[in-house]
Amino acid sequence: MTTEIATRPFTQYARAFRGLFLRDLHVLRREMFPFVIRICMNPLLFLFVFTYIMPHMSGGANLSPTAGMAGPGFSTVLLPGLMAVAIMFSGIAAVALPLAQEFGITREIDDRVMCPLPTGAVAIEKICFSAMQSMIAAIVVFPLAYYVPTQHPLFHVTSWPFLITVLVLASLTAGALGMTIGTSVKPQQIGLIFGVVVMPITFLGCVYYPWAALIHIRWLQIGVLVNPIVYMSEGLRAALTPALPHMNEAGILLMLIGFLALLTWLGVRGFLRRVIG
């Protein structure tokens, strides 16, 4: 049997890209259970404690962060916020952590780097595959964030195209962030990333409060603008819970595109530096 290998560059690249995507899909399918656990655990526990246990405790209203937001307020804030965290976290878990291993002892990325495809495209494939995982994560978190709270959040989609655009941009940005982190941190130090990067950008990412609520802490309100998670949560807030205060839609899209371009550039550059001597 002989196989005619495509000679036209575009066909060749497209097939190689498809091969890489199929490989990732195959591995993900085999690891479905840990994947779902990884996505669900954090938002499930968070919602359970803050929007289910707390409201049930006697005097809980005084202890809970929902104290200032009567009724379904806090769960409504959390719905887009936790989806943003799931998107961001998937980007780290799908790109940065595996890359640390693949660049580290095993060097198992080598065979994929040797694909008949420009090396930068191998990095782009990883970002795209990660974006797909991020979107699945956001879709899985949605019912949790809706059903777990004692008082269901109030959501209303005014523009589906805007929601989908935000979801896609946020997911790609998360993948690019994972690529930037995965290629710029030494494999041995990847564990530190959670403390040094993931935690701060989550807690300061307008996940648990709308950006507009920071008005009284002006320095923080301006400071968090360099955090890409802010635009993910605010974007989903604008798309899903427009009744709550949120940033301007066009500004959100612009900033997401800007961060996507910057992080993709940094990530691909880091990837090339790692694999080409």
Partner 1 sequence: MTAVDSIDLDVEAGEIYGLLGPNGAGKTTTISICTTRALPTAGTATIAGIDVVRNPSMARKHIGVVPQYNTLDRACTIFENIHFHCQYFGFSSTEATARTRQLLEQFHLTERSSAYPSELSGGLAQRVQIARAIAHRPSVLFLDEPSAGLDPQSRIAMWDAVKRLHEEGITVVLTTHYMEEADELCDRLAIIDHGRILVADTPTALKNSVGAETIYELDLRDDPKPLINRLAQMNGVANVECTGKLLRVLAHSSDGLLSEIVSSAQPFGLRDMRITQPTLETVFIRLTGRDLRE
- Of 141 and 275, which has the nearer Cβ to partner 1? 275
* Under rule CB under 8 A, residue 62 binds partner 1: no
* Under rule CB under 8 A, residue 161 binds partner 1: no
* Under rule CB under 8 A, residue 174 binds partner 1: no
Question: What's the token pair of residue 81?
Answer: 């916020």
- Shortest separation between residue 99's beta carbon and partner 1, angstroms: 13
Q: What is the DSSP string of the chain?
A: -------SHHHHHHHHHHHHHHHHHHHHHHTHHHHHHHHHHHHHHHHIIIIIIHHHSTTHHHHSGGGGSTTTHHHHHHHHHHHHHHHHHHHIIIIIHHHHHHHTTS-TTHHHHTSSS-HHHHHHHHHHHHHHHHHHHHHHHHHHHHHSSSSPPP---S-HHHHHHHHHHHHHHHHHHHHHHHHHS-GGGTTHHIIIIIHHHHHTTTSSS-GGGGGGSHHHHHHGGG-HHHHHHHHHHHHH-TTS----HHHHHHHHHHHHHHHHHHHHHHHHHHH--
* Under rule CB under 8 A, residue 108 binds partner 1: yes
* Under rule CB under 8 A, residue 275 binds partner 1: yes
Q: Please compute Rg for the chain using Cα positions.
A: 20
* Under rule CB under 8 A, residue 276 binds partner 1: yes
Among 34, 68, 116, 251, binds partner 1 (CB under 8 A): 116
Among 10, 33, 56, 111, binds partner 1 (CB under 8 A): 111
The 13-52 site mask, x for binding partner 1 (CB under 8 A), equals: x-xx-xxx-xx--xx--xx---------------------
Among 12, 184, 221, 227, binds partner 1 (CB under 8 A): 12
- Shortest separation between residue 277's beta carbon and partner 1, angstroms: 3
For 117, phi then psi, to 5°, come to: -150, 145
- Of 114 and 243, which has the nearer Cβ to partner 1? 114
Select from 42-50, 116-124, 136-144, 238-246 the region that touches partner 1 (CB under 8 A): 116-124
- Of 6 and 253, which has the nearer Cβ to partner 1? 6
Select from 60-68, 74-82, 101-109, 149-157 the region that touches partner 1 (CB under 8 A): 101-109
Can you give the binding site for partner 1, defined by CB under 8 A?
Answer: 1, 3, 5-6, 9, 11-13, 15-16, 18-20, 22-23, 26-27, 30-31, 106-119, 275-277
